[in-house]
Amino acid sequence: MNDFLPICRKDMELRGWDELDFILVTGDAYVDHPSFGHAIISRVLENEGFRVGIIPQPDWNSVDSFKILGEPKYAFLVSPGNIDSMVNHYTVNKKIRSEDSYSPGGKSGRRPDRTSIVYTSKIKQAYKGIPVIIGGIEASLRRLAHYDYWSDKVRHSILLDSKADLLIYGMGEYPIVEIAKKLKQGKNIKEITDVRGTVYAVSRLPQDALELPSFDEITKNRESFAKSFKIQYDNTDPYTGKILAEGDGTRWVVQNKPSFPITKEDFDKVYSLPFTKTYHPIYEKDGGVPALKEVEFSITNNRGCFGSCSFCALTFHQGRIVTSRSEESVINEAKELIKKPNFKGYIHDVGGPTANFSGPSCKKQGEKGSCKEKSCLGHNMCNNIEVSHSSYLGLLRKLRNLPGIKKVFIRSGIRFDYLLKDKDETFFKELCEHHISGQLKIAPEHISDSVLKVMGKPKHSVFDSFIKKYQEFNSKAGKKQFFIPYFISSHPGSTLEDALKLAEYLKGLGFTPDQVQDFYPTPGTLSTAMYYTGINPLDGKKIFVAREHKDKQDQRALLQFNRPENYHTVLKVLRSIGRTDLIGFGNKALILPPSSKEKSKKNSKKQKIAKC
């Protein structure tokens, strides 16, 4: 029990503690694994000599649930969990999810909507004047005024809505240690206004801050919202980013410059901390915590992503500069996995946000930061990008040759345009030979170039080139391996005609996806800003957005055109856009004519009766 940080008074007594320095309240179950944010932050603070306790998934209806460890000496830390609480609770159709993989037994309902706000409120009720610092993905992506899909309105910075004292955005190891040391030195939480990667509120506009359109402006004018987002988007880099300030009533919400990316040495140090790598024993009766199964035999190798996909929040959270752990650190972790009694010889993943990124996209990015007006990859790859898979390939070779390892899989995303750019095809070859479990999951997201440009994804021809090369390597290796493409429907910029192009492409492949991801407008993404404003903030131009439920359903139905429940929707859509040529019996037809459809149903019923 002492291997875990205290979750009750008895645990504190076993350690000889009568008081904690920090108490971390989390919306996830307590899993002491570095894939969980609360585990990293608590272990990092512990390593700095601070006494830390955890309150996992407290009963938010009871103030007493927040008092079980007493009052901390310095502050409460609030982390709603690895996923934004609203995304965790609701599907894109705003229906309540029946499961929560971050809760014991996968049962939902263990955390409130808008967890950061609710938890902070309860802590403030429990202890007057105690500092509360909020962090994690929910706080990070809602750090300034933002569009909230679930209420369909612009909400205030979560710092103001929660009434927390300080907000940490991005990856929190560096900011939390600096804040903790300042508090230990006797500084008041309100005096801590100079830490990178933090957001605070004041009554006066700081002199060195770049002023954003006010909350009042962006709620009244969507062009102002787009303008504000563009300024924020251009200031996510730690080298070139500026201090930003947003007026909201009588207060200013101030975002300090981003924290610098973690160094390789510190990255290694974090992953060498004494994590138990499992869930707390209190969850045994529930069958454990399902989310652990996804990461238990996986290894995080890198952090950050210069892919800059429009629908991804990584630019705002982890940043565009990639850092990798050392080869030695990763191999040591693999050796520890081999010792586990339930390890079967298979490492499920060695990666991160994008598996085949190992460092900065170019020398300039690593020394001076990312370019403001250019993307490294996107629809058109930068000519200055430096492509190499040599270090990653060397790591994979050493891992798969370790005694006790049968197979090393790669399940993190592979950026295929970056892979094709590498003149040395050795990694691509060995990827097919050694690191795929029969099928490669790949994310082209769409096939219409106009939509792909909005998404920040490469041209469709690049994906076709990748698949051709993928099939060649598999053929040479004598392997029958397939690929499963992932697509997004109703993304901003995608019209019915674009969705139809994708449907025709899928028909040509002979593939109909079991699952289609409707675009989900989550806080902090470029795509969400487009969805709300109908404007692409990067160029200020208007863009088509499928906002109505019917429009979304039409696009989704086209992608799953052969499903019986979608037949009448597809029929109406094809008629409405003058594509009745796709209703018929030919190889290119998506659906049968109505009369033949009815005959097909009758014949099917007769066959069932005959079998009975």
CATH number at residue 165: 3.40.50
pLDDT digits (tens, 9 = 90+) for 352-382: 999 999 999 999 998 899 988 788 998 889 9
The answer as to whether 145 is a domain residue is yes
Same domain, 188 and 304: no
Same domain, 177 and 316: no
pLDDT digits (tens, 9 = 90+) for 486-537: 999 999 999 999 999 999 999 998 887 777 889 999 999 999 999 999 999 9
pLDDT at position 372 is 83
What is the Cα 402 distance to its own chain's centre? 31
Sequence-ordered strand ranges (E) for 465-589: 482-489, 517-518, 535-536, 541-542
pLDDT at position 75 is 98
Q: SS3 of 155, please?
A: strand
The DSSP annotation for 204-230 comes to S--TTPEEEPPHHHHHH-HHHHHHHHH
The answer as to whether 121 is a domain residue is yes
The answer as to whether 107 is a domain residue is yes
**What token pair was written down for 92?**
């894109």
Same domain, 74 and 195: yes
Angle (CA) 527-528-531 rounded to 5° is 90
Same domain, 40 and 177: yes
Same domain, 37 and 185: yes
Same domain, 168 and 305: no
The DSSP annotation for 347-415 comes to E-EEESSSTT--S-SSHHHHHH---SS--SSTTS--TT-----HHHHHHHHHHHTSTT--EE---S---
CATH number at residue 384: 3.30.750.210
Domain that holds residue 334: 297-437
Same domain, 57 and 191: yes
Tell me the mean pLDDT in the region 379-389.
92
pLDDT digits (tens, 9 = 90+) for 155-182: 999 999 999 999 999 999 999 999 999 9
Tell which of 200, 222, 255 closes a domain: 200
Q: Which amino acid is at 22?
A: F
Same domain, 178 and 63: yes
Report how far residue 268's alpha carbon sits from residue 303's, in angstroms, rounded to the nearest whole number. 12
The answer as to whether 353 is a domain residue is yes
Contact 57, 65 (CB under 8 A): no
The answer as to whether 58 is a domain residue is yes
The answer as to whether 271 is a domain residue is no
Same domain, 160 and 33: yes
Contact 477, 492 (CB under 8 A): no
Report how far residue 175's alpha carbon sits from residue 40's, in angstroms, rounded to the nearest whole number. 13
**What token pair was written down for 418?**
């970056």
Same domain, 312 and 194: no
Provide long-range contacts, Cβ within 8 A and 24+ apart, for 203-207: 203/250, 203/251, 203/252, 204/252, 205/245, 205/247, 205/252, 206/243, 206/245, 206/252, 206/254
Same domain, 28 and 155: yes
How many distinct structural domains can be found in the chain?
A: 2
Same domain, 61 and 195: yes
Q: Which amino acid is at 32?
A: D
User: How confident is residue 13, by pLDDT bands cut at 50, 70 and 90?
Assistant: very high
φ and ψ of 58, to 5 deg: -65, 160
The answer as to whether 433 is a domain residue is yes
pLDDT at position 511 is 81
Is 609 a residue whose pLDDT tops 80?
Answer: no
Tell which of 406, 437, 468 closes a domain: 437
Is 610 a residue whose pLDDT tops 50?
Answer: no
Report how far residue 276's alpha carbon sits from residue 258's, in angstroms, rounded to the nearest whole number. 31
The answer as to whether 25 is a domain residue is yes
Tell which of 200, 216, 231 closes a domain: 200
